[in-house]
Structure 1
């Protein structure tokens, strides 16, 4: 079997295959939009929490240069903005932590040392009077920052160069987190790049001018081949590289994607990770710079790929992959053993000589078999996933990840507001959050991502504020004030259900059953059982089954869809206890002293709250409300729906809580055995931090007393 010798035909078919697997202009733009939105949201959360950090998503997922089958990691960079990293003394700022980027004859190319300067005068720091500590060391007459001074303290993480990697989490994508400082100035080593020009006349002068404004990051890792590994910091131009990636055409992105598939299929199994996707990106940049721009078209994709592989082969042969912007930095330094070098050169030579035949062997995304089918070599090829299905899966992954981030962001902001020393100020803290979001909204352009973040987070914070005020109202006067109702109204459309259910819960607790019933009926009408998926950011949550209509909807838009197709879990803080029905209050006391000792300090703070999925809570409130209104048939319908949703809704995040509510409903129906059964199933799901332990003891006590 051989490919059509006409490169043009093969290239066009190969372009079609990659288009079918999601490397299309539409999906690339969608990936970029959603990841830029997520990084803007995370940065906004830092600002609202009084942390001067910025969050960035770099790498394949945010560039759009990946496929489902490549299973790319998520690359996150967190920048600490409180540090003033400078390249010369004129940039020193009083009152800041000033770090001067310096080099000497022993510093590795592409790396720097960070000299600590004085806070009150632009002079070297006098910290050398103290002994070495975890932040500083005194070397060559200067106080230098160690690159171990900042790290990500994440449980279960491993170090991977400058990144802290969260790996092996079932059903979740690996996440690489890099901490950094930012320097506003373009690095000295990169100055020649601004004037260097290749035959491709790429990057353009406009792109270089923008790149220069992005400055650089310094990340905490030293060169393995250098003499100062503990105090060297790598200079990263990833912001400029993002600009370059965002200016590639679709053929260039497909070429890069193919290189990563070749790396993963042929080189990684026998040589491990000696070559990286970043090296492939660097190869692509060099190739584009030295190739006429009219070569980068779909009908020439195969020839462009071969050109890139030849450059990669040459880099491996000389064991030198020059960084695109700082070419003195050899990305392959001390990376390739003689054995691996021989194997890689042999593999690349075979792929280049066969002129595309090797692509038929790539199993990732069924690329080889799809290409065979396009070339009419295997007309019976069964498409496991159609292009439409692939686009739908990518869209769903993007939107569901965004929805989870929204839920996590809401939870994180509430946690910050419920610290022991801040609980009395929660009303003011929530108001401050909304004020900060509003200010960001006014300061940015009409179509900015900050405005989208405002529209997403403001309703969630508004109904939380409304509920806090309502709880205070109920405690003092057994009413809900107009102020609380106004904040509730702003939050009604946060998603399909959670804002409305917070309002219904407050109305129920104040005894206004008629208005409670109206709100619940309206919520049920909006909650399309065939479409809406629950979203919970409390646990690492795996999707077990996704509703077909949810999938279809995800492919029709971006974040604006979420308020129509998702239902966030409903959260009540301890200070909202007067808005919580008696049956749900048990969740606030779910943990024994032993449970508390086993908690994860960062992730389990919400366990002192009452948290429940929207759908079972909707039916529970209906059961209680119809009971109070003496509408027996409606009450029994609500109970039946509560049973069904608890048993069959695949993606509930708090199924144990739903079972605890159902068990208490069964008790009220005098079905004590069924109630006990609910509590036991609940404990099987969540053995620790579960109110079922209390409910079982209470039920058994009642049964004994009845006898």
Structure 2
């Protein structure tokens, strides 16, 4: 078939068709990029609203849209410590700030630098007798910052080289979190790149001008062959590279994805993973720069891929993959052993000579079998997932990551207030909302910042309403208009959590009629076919996702968080006045011995009362209907609570739901069922569980 003059044209179109079927098309790429940019903007805004000055960036395949489900690409989260002024020229020194001068000399590898401390009061080096033994080192009469000092800036993660890795749950992505400093000026080593022009006339002059404005980052990692392992910092142009990736056409992105599939299928499993996707990206950049732009068409995808593989082969042969922006930085330096070099060259040669047939062996996303069917070589293969299912899967993963970012930002905001009193929390949350409102008015009408702030505001509003209402209930046995106003502003954070906090407060103040109305409205909005419970308190699997939920995710963008997710209902200790007594026990779940079993960073939620929306909805309905003496409705709510605990697979706090059910059963005088509930709860979480107290209380009542 390869003798057919139209062979490359036909195969290229078939490759494009299969890639389109697995989610590599313009719409999905733009959706991936928007979601990633929104998540990083939310994290940055959340940090800035709390008085910080740092920034978050989601770099890598997820934010570029250059991935598929089966590639399992992680998220590269860069945490930029903006309080430091990193400079390349003494004229950039700023008074009153910690200044660091980038130094490159004969001891530093290309693309790397040293960071020298400068005085904050005048543009002079810090004297060698004034240095911190833990974070600094004196070398050649200079006080230099070690690259080990900020590697663990993101607490609670597993340190992996310069990055801190955080494992994602099934359906979500892993994160590599790296700390860095930002330098506003373009790297001196990269100045020649701004003047280069290849035959592809890419990057354009406009792109280069923009890249120059992004400056660079310095990341805490040394080169493989550097002389200063403890002192070298890598110069990163990730922002500029994002600009280049965002300006690729669909064929160029598909070519890059095919290279990564080839790398993952044929090369890295046999060659110790010595080649990286960043090398593939660099190869692609060089090829685009040196090929005429009209070559990069869908009907020419296979020749473009062969060209990239040939360039990669040449780089491996020379053991030199020049960084696209800083060519003196050899990305392959010291990475490839002689044995692996020969093996890689052999594999690449076979793939190139196969004229595309090797792609039939790629198992990722059933790519090979899909291509086989598309080429009419085998019509018996049944896809594991149809294209529609693939698109729904991708959209669902992105929406869940967005929802989890919303929760993470809220938990981060509340993190320092778990043990504060009501008045302090009231002041802190009020100040936060004032700052948020001011920021919202200042940002552009259609900016990502505006969208991010719309996600951050409702959960804070509900918390503020609940804090005020708790104080109101304690002092005046009522709920003030101010509290109700904030509750109202927080209703649309998601399908149910804001409404349930309002209903909870109304129940606790004894306003059963209005509580019942809010609960009925919440039940109507909670479509059991399309709404999923989302919890980010701890790592737990999501076993099954409703088809209706996945369909909704695929039809919309980030706004679906408000219409298809039910986030945890969370009460701080200072909100205890808005918490029914049955749920208050959750705030006191941990004994001193239990606390020894807790993770200091990730288990702080255990000092709150946290419950999934759906079981809490039915629990509150049970209690409200009981107070209203509506027996039939009360029993219906109890049945729904039992059914939810038994059938809802993605509850994050099933043990809490069982504790609430057990206390309902106590009120029904069904003591055997009560005991069963508490035992089931303890089977889920033996430590840090209020059931340990509740079961003792139950046994005491039975005995006495």
In structure 1, the residue matched to 2:563 is 564
What is the CA distance between 1:3 and its match in structure 2?
A: 9.2
What is the CA distance between 1:197 and its match in structure 2?
A: 0.5
- Conservation of the 8 A alpha-carbon contact between 1:535 and 1:569: yes
Q: Over residues 247-280 of structure 1, what are the superposed CA-to-partner deviations in whole Å (9 max), with x where a residue is unaligned?
A: 0000000000000000011101110211000000
2:33 is aligned with 1:29: no
Superposition pairs for residues 318-397 of structure 1, below 5 Å?
A: 318-397=318-397
SS of residue matched to 1:119 = coil
2:510 is aligned with 1:517: no
- Conservation of the 8 A alpha-carbon contact between 1:134 and 1:148: no
Q: Over residues 231-262 of structure 1, what are the superposed CA-to-partner deviations in whole Å (9 max), with x where a residue is unaligned?
A: 11100000000000000000000000000000
The CA distance in 2 between the partners of 1:687 and 1:183, in whole Å, is 49
User: Where do 5+ consecutive residues of structure 1 fail to align?
Assistant: none
What is the CA distance between 1:597 and its match in structure 2?
A: 1.6
The CA distance in 1 between the partners of 2:394 and 2:96, in whole Å, is 47
What is the CA distance between 1:161 and its match in structure 2?
A: 3.8
The CA distance in 2 between the partners of 1:566 and 1:166, in whole Å, is 23
User: Where do 5+ consecutive residues of structure 2 fail to align?
Assistant: none
- Conservation of the 8 A alpha-carbon contact between 1:87 and 1:102: yes
In structure 2, the residue matched to 1:188 is 188
- Conservation of the 8 A alpha-carbon contact between 2:153 and 2:179: no
- Conservation of the 8 A alpha-carbon contact between 1:532 and 1:564: yes
- Conservation of the 8 A alpha-carbon contact between 1:3 and 1:356: no
Superposition pairs for residues 269-288 of structure 1, below 5 Å?
A: 269-288=269-288
What is the CA distance between 1:198 and its match in structure 2?
A: 0.2
The CA distance in 2 between the partners of 1:405 and 1:141, in whole Å, is 45
Q: Over residues 204-240 of structure 1, what are the superposed CA-to-partner deviations in whole Å (9 max), with x where a residue is unaligned?
A: 0000000000000000111121211211110000000
What is the CA distance between 1:155 and its match in structure 2?
A: 7.8
In structure 1, the residue matched to 2:105 is 104
Q: Are residues 131 and 152 of structure 1, via their aligned partners in 2, closer, same or farther at CA, if it must alter by over 3 Å?
A: closer
Q: Which moved more, 1:433-442 or 1:481-490?
A: 433-442
The CA distance in 1 between the partners of 2:172 and 2:444, in whole Å, is 34
SS of residue matched to 1:137 = strand
- Conservation of the 8 A alpha-carbon contact between 1:12 and 1:301: yes
In structure 1, the residue matched to 2:592 is 593
In structure 1, the residue matched to 2:90 is 89
In structure 2, the residue matched to 1:460 is 459
In structure 1, the residue matched to 2:44 is 43
- Report how many aligned residue pairs link the two structures: 703
- Give me the TM-score of the superposition, normalised by structure 1: 0.97
In structure 2, the residue matched to 1:125 is 126
Q: Over residues 158-183 of structure 1, what are the superposed CA-to-partner deviations in whole Å (9 max), with x where a residue is unaligned?
A: 54442222359777533211110000
The CA distance in 2 between the partners of 1:360 and 1:557, in whole Å, is 34
Q: Over residues 90-126 of structure 1, what are the superposed CA-to-partner deviations in whole Å (9 max), with x where a residue is unaligned?
A: 0000110000011111211001111100010000111
The CA distance in 1 between the partners of 2:66 and 2:598, in whole Å, is 39
What is the CA distance between 1:153 and its match in structure 2?
A: 6.0
- Conservation of the 8 A alpha-carbon contact between 1:417 and 1:430: no
In structure 1, the residue matched to 2:663 is 664
In structure 1, the residue matched to 2:224 is 224
The CA distance in 2 between the partners of 1:130 and 1:694, in whole Å, is 55
The CA distance in 1 between the partners of 2:545 and 2:311, in whole Å, is 44
- Give me the TM-score of the superposition, normalised by structure 2: 0.98
The CA distance in 2 between the partners of 1:669 and 1:197, in whole Å, is 80
Q: Are residues 314 and 161 of structure 1, via their aligned partners in 2, closer, same or farther at CA, if it must alter by over 3 Å?
A: farther
- Conservation of the 8 A alpha-carbon contact between 2:190 and 2:326: yes
In structure 2, the residue matched to 1:539 is 538
Q: Are residues 2 and 297 of structure 1, via their aligned partners in 2, closer, same or farther at CA, if it must alter by over 3 Å?
A: closer
What is the CA distance between 1:323 and its match in structure 2?
A: 0.3
SS of residue matched to 1:105 = coil
In structure 2, the residue matched to 1:413 is 413
What is the CA distance between 1:51 and its match in structure 2?
A: 2.4
What is the CA distance between 1:74 and its match in structure 2?
A: 1.4
SS of residue matched to 1:210 = helix
In structure 1, the residue matched to 2:149 is 149
What is the CA distance between 1:55 and its match in structure 2?
A: 0.5
Q: Are residues 307 and 66 of structure 1, via their aligned partners in 2, closer, same or farther at CA, if it must alter by over 3 Å?
A: same
Q: Over residues 124-155 of structure 1, what are the superposed CA-to-partner deviations in whole Å (9 max), with x where a residue is unaligned?
A: 111x1146612111111111111112112668
The CA distance in 2 between the partners of 1:397 and 1:172, in whole Å, is 6
- Conservation of the 8 A alpha-carbon contact between 2:151 and 2:159: no
Q: Are residues 22 and 174 of structure 1, via their aligned partners in 2, closer, same or farther at CA, if it must alter by over 3 Å?
A: same
Q: Are residues 479 and 590 of structure 1, via their aligned partners in 2, closer, same or farther at CA, if it must alter by over 3 Å?
A: same
The CA distance in 1 between the partners of 2:661 and 2:417, in whole Å, is 31
SS of residue matched to 2:200 = coil
In structure 1, the residue matched to 2:244 is 244
Q: Which moved more, 1:281-290 or 1:554-563?
A: 554-563
Q: Over residues 567-608 of structure 1, what are the superposed CA-to-partner deviations in whole Å (9 max), with x where a residue is unaligned?
A: 111111111111111111111111111011221111111211
SS of residue matched to 2:428 = helix
Q: Are residues 139 and 381 of structure 1, via their aligned partners in 2, closer, same or farther at CA, if it must alter by over 3 Å?
A: same
The CA distance in 1 between the partners of 2:422 and 2:45, in whole Å, is 22
